[in-house]
Amino acid sequence: MSDLVTPAREVFRNFPAALISLFYGLSTLAMAVALWGLWQRGRKYWRGRPADRWHALGRRLLRAGAAVGSHTTLARRNVGVGLAHAGIFWGFVALFVGTIIIMIDYDVVRLVNPQWRFWKGAFYRWYSLILDLLGLAFLGGLGLMMCRRWIQRPPALDYTRPDREPGAYSRSAYTTDDRLFLWLLFWIAVTGYLVEGMRIAADRPAFETWSPVGWQIADLFDALGVTPAVNRLHLWFWWLHALLALGFIAYLPYSKAIHMVLDGVNLAFKDDLAGKRLPAVPEAAAVPGYQTLADLTWKDLLDLDACTKCGRCHVACPARAAGAPLSPRDLILELREHAEHGLGGRTWLRERQVRPAGPAMTGAVIRAETLWACTTCRACMDACPVGIEHVPLIVQMRRRLVADGDLDAGLQGTLEKLQRYGNSFGQSDRNRARWTQGLNFKIKDARKEPVEYLWFVGDYAAYDPALQGLTRGVARAFHRAGLDFGILYEGERNSGNDVRRAGEEGLFQLLAEKNVEALARARFNAIVTTDPHSYNTLRFEYPELGAAYRVRHYTEVLLDLMRSGHLPLERRLGGVATYHDPCYLSRYAEVMDAPREMLVTLGLRLVEMRRNRQNSFCCGAGGGRIWMGDTRVAGVPTAAEQRIAEALESPGIRSFVVACPKDVTMYRAAVKTGGFEGRIEVKEIVELLGEALAPHPALSISPSGPLRGAGGGRENTGGGVAGR
């Protein structure tokens, strides 16, 4: 047929009035069912406690829109999945917007003034072309996701729980929901193309070449000889397509598909400092932490519903990898179903298991051993593409466990030492600076004289005999470079970072107040620390107590001194090394380049492990875990042992380099317990610096050896002095 008419088409092609009325009736029903489900979910969030997430709303919305549109959070850990999902997303958006355009033109503009109708002519041609092409992207993305889920079957999509016996639950409904979601979208797209092809085959308007997929399908019908029947088939397939689409609309709020509505919202209200800065216990709270659903905020409830069960947090979790009964994914899903049972907004296809009776959430729905397994490494949060905040939720439930006295005996003992002595080793505060006795120079007391850098040493670096040599090595490097620095001596207390993440909020406040008082008496420009855990709380949490400082990791300061020539190297070391990013230095502080630049400057060839930078794998010490009893699971390597094994995947690596006192402790133990002795050596970065630095005529800075010689000039690099 020649193109003698304005490009356009009928919405209800050859439909009697009764069928048109039936369609509108079914559409109204589908939307009513969907709106009821959305209202139930909205009512659930309304019942949550307030959360301060409304500031800078415009910026939040723009950021979330950019993340959703670009798919950066999805592609960060898996580019292929990101691209496939982008095809699904933009294809769905195009088809949805295309449907809205038809609705506006036919149901609004046509009734107001038929002369204003726009779904015709050039607009219709481009509309047809864009939707046809993006529809292919939609189908392609769905096909890739189906292959990944049902053929590739990555561990992330395995719904096996680490905290339940196999016969105690069934998640077959989750699998059904996944299949239903994908197949509904797939057949909606396929039937849409078939309807288009049948319509084109019946009428053959030349302008429909702008629908390239539909035109090819029409040619296929011609080749099959079924063109005479396409008018009748068109009616049946039109209704099949319509019923699938309307069914999807009704099904959306009660299924996995709800993430299409909620995830962008959840990203908008995400707190960039979640986990890095934990909320204080409200003064009005009778008991700290979360115990029942009434304690959850609306953002917590939104987090639970936003989960897509993608499993990225599940495979990233070091506790789960070490055989502990914790999966961040399963914790969120368990709380989601508990919230749906208690507050409404239910998903139709749910996990089947015998659930605890009563309102108790902490210790019942989520078991204590699950909560204590967490290392607070934030790997789950960094991996999550939709902004779920697992760590603050876990810490809130830990607070209730601490209040109830339900905690590990080792942790209890350490907290008592911290309460009495201000350090986790239970030693007198007068011993905090005893490590300096191996030096032949006096480190300034920052409480008595001004310094450029105040060195917050930390418990492990100060008290652990196995680490004190490394601490002296840092001091010697600072002194050799002429850095103007001092310490607080007995005025320093444990920073409280891990105390807070273990759930002891009151003790954290006590320790922090003591430190803030000591820091207020000192005069300095910035804080430098060797402990990433202290770095985090000093930088992100102390400002909430009115004590904001510039905080730097010692590798950043040393790198500056090397660049400026204050630490000249005698030789380049050579050899192959890998660097382990501490969780609190990479994911928390986002300091990742300075240690690597130091190693390269020292002459080492740096080989990255499979998981590096923000995707680093935890040593297992964080969140107070280093203070708890041995929870090793028989036959399962610890997280630290798995990390050493990962380093050895690359041939030639002899040095496993760390930049955290707790990492030295954890990984040197892992080398022994994992049977890696003689194959790799754990090195603190300052040890390597000591080997490469030019010898001073009166000073050796060997981290572990005794001081040789005496005296030595010092160039003062300090600038002005500033108070808090």
Residue 289 domain flag: yes
Of the candidates 494, 259, 528, 495, the one whose C-alpha atom is nearest the C-alpha of residue 385 is: 259
DSSP at 13: T
Residue 683 in contact with residue 663, Cβ under 8 Å?
no
Q: Are residues 370 and 459 in the same domain?
A: no
Chunked mean pLDDT (size 10), the chain, 724 residues: 65 88 96 96 95 93 94 91 94 93 88 86 91 95 95 95 91 95 96 93 88 91 87 92 96 95 96 95 87 95 96 96 95 95 92 82 92 96 96 97 93 96 94 93 95 96 95 95 96 96 96 96 96 97 94 97 91 92 96 96 94 95 90 88 95 94 95 94 95 61 40 31 31
Cα distance between residue 21 and residue 132, in whole Å: 28
Name beta bridge partners: 366: 362
Model pLDDT for residues 134-182, shown as the tens digit of each residue:
999 999 999 999 999 999 999 999 999 999 998 899 999 999 999 999 9
Cα distance between residue 254 and residue 345, in whole Å: 8
Q: What are phi and psi of 553, to 5 degrees?
A: -85, 150
Residue 41 domain flag: no
Q: Are residues 376 and 512 in the same domain?
A: no
Q: What are phi and psi of 356, to 5 degrees?
A: -60, 145
Q: Are residues 551 and 664 in the same domain?
A: yes
- The whole domain housing 346 covers 279-403
Residue 191 in contact with residue 239, Cβ under 8 Å?
no
Q: Are residues 294 and 443 in the same domain?
A: no
Determine how β-strand 444-445 pairs with β-strand 485-487. Answer: parallel
Q: What are phi and psi of 398, to 5 degrees?
A: -65, -40
Task: Provide the greatest CA pair distance for the chain.
Answer: 103
Cα distance between residue 704 and residue 415, in whole Å: 30
Q: Which two tokens stand for residue 380?
A: 């789950």
What confidence score (pLDDT) does residue 698 get? 43
Q: Are residues 418 and 468 in the same domain?
A: yes
Q: Are residues 399 and 416 in the same domain?
A: no
DSSP-H helix ranges across 583-712: 583, 593-601, 639-647, 661-673, 685-692
Residue 203 in contact with residue 185, Cβ under 8 Å?
no
Residue 273 domain flag: no
CATH number of the domain enclosing 382: 1.10.1060.10
What confidence score (pLDDT) does residue 4 get? 52
The tally of domains found in the chain comes to 3
Q: Are residues 593 and 661 in the same domain?
A: yes
Q: Are residues 550 and 670 in the same domain?
A: yes
Q: Are residues 395 and 494 in the same domain?
A: no
Strands ordered across the beta sheet of 526-529: 444-445, 485-487, 453-456, 526-529, 551-553
Q: Are residues 438 and 498 in the same domain?
A: yes
Q: Are residues 368 and 236 in the same domain?
A: no
Residue 599 in contact with residue 688, Cβ under 8 Å?
yes
Q: Which amino acid is at 531?
A: D
Cα distance between residue 481 and residue 568, in whole Å: 9
Cα distance between residue 508 and residue 499, in whole Å: 6
Other beta carbons within 10 Å of 440? 15
What confidence score (pLDDT) does residue 647 get? 96
Q: Are residues 479 and 330 in the same domain?
A: no
Cα distance between residue 112 and residue 104, in whole Å: 11
What are the start-end ranges of the E strands in 472-575? 485-487, 526-529, 551-553
